[in-house]
């Protein structure tokens, strides 16, 4: 049987957990536009690839092309613009922490609720909430990491484009300067 001290600590843990779920949601919200944009871009890219592959299909197309088309279709179906864990997952985690807190309060407020069966409910609800929070945390970290990695790749691509453009522009400027020098030399000597 649990003591009042332990149940009070579990109540604090449940309330803290519910607060942390809200904090995770608040942290993800500012970058959600980037997450959705990256997912939409990936979906658009896959749809373009699918349409290109589909237009190549003829009566004598080999089986491997059909397999590739099926893989693209499966990838398209897997992409969700709005990650489910940001809605149902966080909601379920939050409510599980709330249920855990309610069971703790009920146990503390009424001596008749202080039976071993209720001890089990208190512990199980808290462990489920902690497990869900752990899963949501991993998914959120993965999503943020993926978004940051894609943004970094975009920046590297833009840097490369700028460097190539700059090198091409510098070569053109050098060439123009040399032509101007040659024209000036011809004008002076002529």
The confidence band for 162, taking pLDDT boundaries of 50, 70 and 90, is confident
Distances (CA, A) of 55 to 48, 50, 61, 73, 132: 11, 9, 11, 14, 44
pLDDT digits (tens, 9 = 90+) for 110-144: 888 788 888 888 999 999 999 999 998 898 888 88
Q: Encode pLDDT of 14-49 as tens digits.
A: 999 999 998 888 887 787 777 777 777 877 888 888
Structural domains counted in the chain = 1
pLDDT number for residue 47: 82
According to the model, what pLDDT value does residue 29 have? Answer: 79
Domain range for 68 is 4-189
pLDDT of residue 80: 66
d(CA 23, CA 18): 9
Rounded average pLDDT over 93-100: 93
The enclosing H or E element of 25 equals: helix 4-28
- Cα–Cα distance between 122 and 105 in angstroms, integer? 10
Q: What is the pLDDT of residue 131?
A: 94
Residue 12 scores a pLDDT above 90 = yes
Concatenated DSSP letters of 89-111 = HHHHHHHHHHHHHHHHHHHHH-G
∠ Cα 127 130 97 (to 5°): 90
What secondary structure letter does DSSP report for 81? S
Residues 6 or more apart from 133 whose CB is under 8 A from it?
17, 20, 21, 93, 97
Q: Can you give the length of the chain in residues?
A: 190
Structure tokens of 141?
């970290």
Q: Residue 127: its pLDDT value, please?
A: 94
């Amino acid at each position: 049987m649990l003591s009042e001290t332990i149940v009070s600590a579990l109540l604090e843990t449940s309330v803290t957990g519910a607060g942390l779920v809200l904090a995770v949601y608040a942290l993800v919200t500012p970058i959600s536009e980037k997450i959705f944009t990256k997912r939409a871009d990936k979906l658009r890219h896959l749809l373009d690839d699918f349409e290109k592959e589909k237009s190549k299909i003829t009566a004598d197309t080999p089986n491997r092309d059909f397999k590739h088309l099926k893989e693209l279709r499966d990838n398209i179906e897997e992409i969700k613009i709005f990650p489910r864990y940001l809605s149902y997952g966080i909601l379920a985690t939050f409510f599980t922490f709330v249920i855990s807190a309610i069971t703790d309060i009920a146990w503390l407020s009424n001596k008749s609720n202080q039976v071993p069966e209720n001890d089990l409910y208190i512990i199980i609800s808290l462990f489920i909430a902690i497990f869900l929070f752990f899963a949501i945390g991993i998914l959120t970290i993965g999503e943020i990491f993926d978004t940051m990695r894609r943004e970094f790749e975009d920046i590297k691509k833009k840097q490369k484009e700028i460097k190539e453009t700059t090198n091409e522009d510098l070569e053109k400027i050098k060439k123009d300067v040399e032509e101007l020098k040659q024209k000036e030399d011809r004008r002076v000597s002529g």
